[in-house]
């Protein structure tokens, strides 16, 4: 009974944070709301007896990825997001996708209702670290490897995007800027000496 109450509490928090994330115009408020979603979700995982997933959710999503997002927002000092009129068609696309998601959710709910009820043993090891690790590196080794390669590709892509100017060109840009400033300084000196 307490577990049910906790589930509804944290699920409600997650949904409220998600709505607040979409609703806020300020990107930093949206980011904080997303952190709220992650933390509420990890609490739900704990009530579902999956402590490893819960800890990893907080550690990676809330603790690392969203900190980077907040960092970028702070660095760029973004203002409120202005509504863009030319993106009106996105509302229609969004409504369609939302409808698909709603139907899918209802279908899952229906399937769960129809499934035969099973009592969950409290000493189940499914959510425990050992069983997750053992399954990941035996039964699901190939998907893990594929995800690893995918992440590596993302990292290499980011590095290439940052290094679009190759090193010598970057140095040329810096040299040009420095010589331009030197010339300006020379002009300034000349004026002062007159």
Partner 1 sequence: MESVAQTAFPWVVWLVAVSLAFGGVLMVVAYTVLAERKVLGWIQGRIGPNRVGPWGMLQPFADLLKFIFKEDLVPDKSTKFVYYLAPVVALTCALMPMVVYPFGPAITTIDWTFLPWHLGDGVTTLPLTISRIDVGVLFVLGITSVGVYGIALAGWSSNSKYSLMGGLRSSAQMISYELAMGAAVLGPVLLAGTLDLGGIIRAQQQSMFRWFIIPQFIAFVVFLISAFAETNRVPFDLPEAETELVAGFHTEYSALKFALFFMAEYVNMFTVSVMCTVLFLGGWYVPGLEAIGRWLGISAYLHEGTITYAIVSHVGFLVKICAFLFFYIWVRGTLPRFRFDQLMNFGWKFLLPVALLNVFVTIVVVYFLNV
Q: Is the Cβ of residue 64 or residue 102 nearer to partner 1 in the bound state?
A: 64
The secondary structure of the chain in percent helix, strand, coil, rounded to multiples of 5, reads 80, 0, 20
Q: Which of residues 27-56 bind partner 1 (CB under 8 A)?
A: 28, 32, 35, 39, 51-52, 54-56
Contact criterion met (CB below 8 Å) for 47 and 3: yes
DSSP 74-111: HHHT--PPPPPGGGTHHHHHHHHHHHHHHHHHHHHHHH
Q: What span, in angstroms and rounded, lies between the C-alpha atoms of 49 and 46?
A: 5
Q: Could you tell me the smallest distance in angstroms from the CB atom of residue 52 to partner 1?
A: 5
Q: Could you tell me the smallest distance in angstroms from the CB atom of residue 50 to partner 1?
A: 10
Question: Contact between 74 and partner 1 (CB under 8 A)?
Answer: yes
Residues in binding contact with partner 1, number by CB under 8 A:
22
Binding residues vs partner 1 (CB under 8 A): 28, 32, 35, 39, 51-52, 54-56, 58-59, 62-64, 67-68, 70-71, 74-75, 128-129
């Amino acid at each position: 009974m307490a577990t049910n109450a906790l589930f509804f509490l944290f699920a409600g928090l997650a949904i409220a944070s998600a709505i607040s994330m979409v609703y806020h115009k300020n990107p930093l408020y949206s980011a904080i709301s997303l952190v709220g979603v992650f933390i509420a979700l990890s609490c739900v995982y704990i009530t579902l007896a999956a402590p490893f997933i819960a800890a990893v959710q907080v550690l990676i999503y809330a603790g690392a990825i969203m900190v980077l997002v907040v960092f970028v927002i702070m660095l760029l000092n973004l203002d409120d997001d202005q509504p863009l009129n030319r993106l009106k068609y996105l509302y229609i696309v969004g409504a369609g996708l939302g409808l698909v998601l709603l139907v899918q959710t209802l279908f899952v709910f229906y399937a769960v209702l129809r499934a035969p009820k099973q009592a969950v043993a409290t000493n189940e090891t499914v959510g425990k670290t050992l069983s997750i690790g053992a399954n990941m590196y035996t039964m699901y080794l190939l998907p893990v490897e594929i995800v690893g390669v995918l992440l590596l590709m993302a990292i290499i892509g980011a590095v290439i995007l940052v290094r679009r100017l190759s090193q010598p060109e970057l140095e040329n840009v810096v040299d040009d800027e420095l010589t331009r400033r030197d010339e300006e300084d020379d002009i300034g000196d000349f004026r002062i000496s007159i």
